C-alpha cells in the first residue's frame, strides 16, 4: 500500500486505534511514516485552513514552533518544485543554527534520502526537485530588497533588531518581494514580546492573518517533566512567565513610565561609543530569602549617551552571594564606582562589599523618595533619547514597564529591584554629577 494511502487511513482512526495499528506496521512502513508530520503533529502545529497570507504562531518556549516551521517548509517543497522560500531570522547565525541545522530544523526533519543540499557560502538550500530556500538576516534589511519569493518562514520575529527600524524594514522588504506563484504566504514563529513590529502584525489579525496561540505545556509529551515544573514554579505568576511560557502578548500598562515601544527605540546591539565612565547600581535585598538583589551595569559614553550594559542581578541570594556578584560584575566591566542603596543598613552594605574584596570606590545612597518617584526623571532621559540598552534585558525591562506614574508598581515580583538598581546607576551618571572625593573601602 502506498504510504499516503496508509497515512489517510491512519488519520481517519481514533487515536487509540491509530496507535494500535502503528504497532502492527513492519519496520519499513514505520520508518516511512515517521516523517509524515500530519500523523504526529498537534492540530495547532498544522497550517490553518483558508486563504490566509500570513500565519503567526505566537507561543511559549518549547511549544514546537521551530518544528512546525520546518515541517511547513518541507511540505511546501514536496508540493511546489518551483518554490523560492526566504528563511529569515534575527541573524544569519541563528537562521543556520536553529532553522537549518537545529534539532528541529530543516535538515533534521527531512528524510535522509530527500534532504536538501546546504551551501553555507551561498546561504542556500536546494532540494532534488529544484525548490530552493535562501537564508536572510534581519540585521540586513536591504538584502531583501530585490529578491522575489513564493513563501517565507520568519523565526523569532520578536527578537529582530529594531534599531533604526531594522525589524520593520526587513518585514516590509520581504512583503514587497513575496510575489511569486499564485498564493504567496509567510509563516512567523515567535515567542511574543510587545515590540512594535509584532504588535503591528498581531493587531492586524483578519482574513489575511491567522494567529495561533499556545503554551509550553501543549508540548509536555516532548519536554522533561522537571523542566516544566521548575519554570512554572519560578516564572508562572510573573509577566515574564505569561509571555515566555503562556505565549501571551503582554499589553502596555496605562500610565507606565516605560513602554515596550520606548525601550525598543532605545535599543542597540552593542555600545556605539566608548565608555567615559562606568558604574554599577545595587539595590540590596532586605533579607536573603526575600527580593532579588538588583545589580545593573551602566556607562556614560563619550557621545553623552548613557548605556545599560548588563543586568547581573541575583535572586534569593545571601549577603555573601550578592556581594560576590557585585564584585564579579565590577571586575568584568572595569567599573569606576559602585552605587548602593543603604536604606536597609549602610554599615551592613559596606561591610558585606568589603568582605567580598571589593576595593572600588563605593557610594552609599539613601532613598528619600519611593522607587517610582525616583524613576520618573530617569524615564524622562529615555524619552529624550539619552539612554540606550545594549542588548535585551527581559526581566529588567518587565520591571521598568511595571512602574506606574503616581507611585504604583504592577510588574513582576514584589518589588522592582532591578529597575531600582538601574535608576541609581543612571541617576549617578546623568542626573547627579559626582562632586565629592571618592572614598575607598579597606
Whether the pTM exceeds 0.85: the reply is no
Arithmetic mean of pLDDT over the chain: 87
Q: 371 near 289, Cβ under 8 Å?
A: no
29 domain residue, yes or no: no
pLDDT of residue 290: 61
Q: What angle do CA 82, 85, 90 make, to 5 degrees?
A: 170
* Closest of 415, 350, 329, 422 to residue 381, by C-alpha: 422
Domain, as residue range, for 62: 41-244
What's the pLDDT tens digit per position in 103-126? 999 999 998 888 999 999 999 999
Instruction: Give Cα 11 distance to the centre of its chain.
Output: 36
Calculated CA dihedral for residues 293, 294, 299, 304, nearest 10 degrees = -150
Residue 318 lies in a domain: yes
Structural domain count of the chain: 2
Q: Smallest Cα–Cα separation from 195: which of 140, 243, 236?
A: 243
Shared domain for 265 and 239, answered yes or no, is: no
Task: Please compute the mean of the pLDDT values over residues 410-432 and round it to a whole number.
Answer: 89
Q: pLDDT confidence of 442, banded at 50, 70, 90?
A: very low
Could you read off the pLDDT of 212-254 as tens digits, one per residue? 999 999 999 889 999 989 888 877 766 678 888 888 887 777 8
pLDDT by residue (tens digit) across 330-345?
A: 999 999 999 988 865 4
Indicate whether 45 and 143 sit together in one domain. Answer: yes
Separation of alpha carbons 148 and 44, rounded Å: 29
Percentage of residues in the chain with pLDDT exceeding 70? Answer: 89
CA distance 389 to 262: 11
pLDDT in tens, 34-47: 677 887 889 999 99
Residue 389 in grid coordinates: 540598552
Q: What is the pLDDT of residues 290-347, one digit of tens each?
A: 678 999 999 999 999 999 999 999 988 888 888 889 989 999 999 999 998 886 544 5
217 and 285 co-located in one domain: no
pLDDT of residue 436: 44
Span 64-74, average pLDDT? 96
One domain for residues 336 and 210? no
Looking up cell 535599543, which residue turns up?
267
**Would you give the distance in Å from CA 275 to the centre of its chain?**
26
The grid cell for 440 is: 575607598
Average pLDDT, stretch 398-425?
Answer: 88
> Higher pLDDT residue, 237 or 417?
417
Q: What is the pLDDT of residues 88-98, one digit of tens each?
A: 999 999 999 99
CATH classification of the domain holding 184? 3.40.50.300
Amino acid at each position: 500500500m502506498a504510504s499516503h494511502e496508509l497515512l489517510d487511513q491512519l488519520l481517519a482512526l481514533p487515536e487509540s486505534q491509530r496507535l494500535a495499528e502503528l504497532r502492527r506496521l513492519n519496520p519499513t512502513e514505520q520508518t516511512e511514516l515517521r516523517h509524515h508530520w500530519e500523523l504526529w503533529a498537534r492540530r495547532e502545529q498544522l497550517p490553518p485552513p483558508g486563504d490566509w497570507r500570513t500565519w503567526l504562531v505566537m507561543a511559549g518556549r518549547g511549544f514546537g514552533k521551530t518544528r512546525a516551521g520546518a515541517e511547513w517548509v518541507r511540505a511546501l517543497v514536496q508540493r511546489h518544485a518551483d518554490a523560492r522560500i526566504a528563511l529569515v531570522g534575527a541573524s544569519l547565525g541563528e537562521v543556520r543554527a536553529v532553522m537549518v541545522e537545529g534539532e528541529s530544523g530543516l535538515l533534521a526533519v527531512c528524510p535522509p534520502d530527500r534532504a536538501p543540499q546546504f551551501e553555507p557560502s551561498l546561504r542556500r538550500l536546494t532540494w532534488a526537485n529544484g525548490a530552493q530556500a535562501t537564508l536572510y538576516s534581519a540585521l540586513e534589511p536591504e538584502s531583501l530588497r530585490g529578491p522575489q519569493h513564493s513563501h517565507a518562514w520568519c523565526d523569532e520575529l520578536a527578537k529582530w533588531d529594531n534599531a533604526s527600524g531594522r525589524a520593520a524594514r526587513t518585514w516590509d522588504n520581504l512583503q514587497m518581494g513575496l510575489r511569486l506563484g499564485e498564493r504567496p504566504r509567510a509563516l512567523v514563529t515567535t515567542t511574543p514580546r510587545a515590540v512594535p513590529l509584532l504588535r503591528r502584525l498581531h493587531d492586524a489579525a483578519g482574513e489575511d492573518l491567522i494567529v495561533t496561540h499556545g503554551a509550553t505545556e501543549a508540548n509536555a509529551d516532548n519536554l522533561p517533566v522537571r523542566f516544566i515544573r521548575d519554570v512554572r514554579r519560578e516564572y508562572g505568576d510573573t509577566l515574564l512567565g505569561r509571555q515566555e511560557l503562556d505565549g501571551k502578548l503582554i499589553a502596555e500598562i496605562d500610565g507606565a513610565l516605560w513602554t515596550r515601544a520606548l525601550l525598543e527605540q532605545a535599543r542597540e546591539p552593542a555600545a556605539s561609543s566608548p565608555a567615559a565612565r562606568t558604574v554599577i547600581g545595587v539595590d540590596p535585598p532586605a533579607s536573603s530569602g526575600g527580593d532579588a538583589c538588583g545589580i545593573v551595569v551602566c556607562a556614560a559614553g563619550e557621545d553623552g549617551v548613557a548605556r545599560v550594559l548588563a543586568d547581573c542581578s541575583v535572586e534569593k541570594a545571601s549577603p555573601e552571594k550578592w556581594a560576590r556578584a557585585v564584585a564579579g560584575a565590577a571586575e568584568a566591566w572595569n567599573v569606576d564606582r559602585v552605587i548602593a542603596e543603604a536604606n536597609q543598613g549602610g554599615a551592613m552594605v559596606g561591610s558585606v562589599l568589603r568582605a567580598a574584596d571589593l576595593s572600588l570606590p563605593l557610594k552609599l545612597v539613601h532613598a528619600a523618595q519611593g522607587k517610582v518617584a525616583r524613576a520618573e526623571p530617569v524615564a524622562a532621559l529615555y524619552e529624550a533619547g539619552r539612554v540606550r540598552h545594549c542588548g535585551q534585558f527581559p526581566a529588567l525591562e518587565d520591571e521598568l514597564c511595571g512602574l506606574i506614574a503616581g507611585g504604583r508598581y504592577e510588574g513582576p515580583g514584589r518589588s522592582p529591584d532591578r529597575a531600582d538598581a538601574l535608576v541609581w546607576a543612571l541617576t549617578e551618571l546623568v542626573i547627579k554629577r559626582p562632586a565629592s572625593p571618592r572614598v575607598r573601602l579597606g
